[in-house]
Amino acid sequence: MSEAADTLRALAATLEQRKGADPDTSYVARLHHKGLDAILKKVGEEATEAVVAAKGGDREQIVYETADLWFHTLVMLSASDVPVDAVLAELERRAGRSGIEEKAARGE
Ligand SMILES: N=c1c2ncn([C@@H]3O[C@H](COP(=O)(O)OP(=O)(O)OP(=O)(O)O)[C@@H](O)[C@H]3O)c2ncn1[C@@H]1O[C@H](COP(=O)(O)O)[C@@H](O)[C@H]1O
């Protein structure tokens, strides 16, 4: 797979390791310590911040907020015991298939 996929995989591996780390020294461990609801709240906040950034049109801000969103989404996957490879495989499966075609196949 691509270098981008490798980057996501490497980050996901770090996040798995941090699950059981000390909440005093690891932000990821602190999130897990707070629990799933706190992680999901964070994903929601970061999604909103990314949307606001995109609306504002500042490229640097869009990149920064999207990175925050992707990071927190990876923490969510980790908390849900879903490997990042499952999401990457789903995107691979969809590659080359138009969203319109896919929707029609669902009868919508
Ligand atoms: N990629 C990230 C990453 N992106 C963002 N963040 C943190 O996510 C938080 C973003 O939340 P906000 O912007 O809302 O800022 P905040 O007010 O400090 O956050 P809250 O107190 O509201 O949760 C900040 O504390 C950032 O530092 C990250 N923290 C960690 N990582 C990666 O995760 C790895 C493990 O991190 P630790 O668990 O801290 O060792 C690191 O080596 C990095 O690779």
Q: What is the pLDDT of residue 98?
A: 83
What is the Å distance from ligand 1's center to 1 Cα? 26
Confirm whether the ipTM is greater than 0.90. Answer: yes
At 75, the amino acid letter reads V
Write the DSSP assignment of 12-46 as a string of letters.
HHHHHHHTTS-TTT-HHHHHHHH-HHHHHHHHHHH
Which residue, by CA, sits nearest to atom 13 of ligand 1? 68
Instruction: Report the nearest atom of ligand 1 relative to the CA of 46.
Output: 14
73 φ, ψ (degrees, to nearest 5): -65, -35
Which residue, by CA, sits nearest to atom 22 of ligand 1? 42
DSSP code for 32:
H
Q: Which residues line ligand 1 (CB under 6 A)?
A: 11, 14, 18, 26-29, 42, 68, 71
Q: What is the pLDDT of residue 104?
A: 85
What is the Å distance from ligand 1's center to 5 Cα? 20
Reported pTM: 0.93
Q: Which two tokens stand for residue 1?
A: 């797979």
Nearest Cα to Cα of residue 65 among 90, 48, 80 = 48
Say if residue 1's pLDDT is above 80: no
Render pLDDT for 18-60 as a digit per residue (tens, 0 to 9).
999 999 999 999 999 999 999 999 999 999 999 999 999 999 9
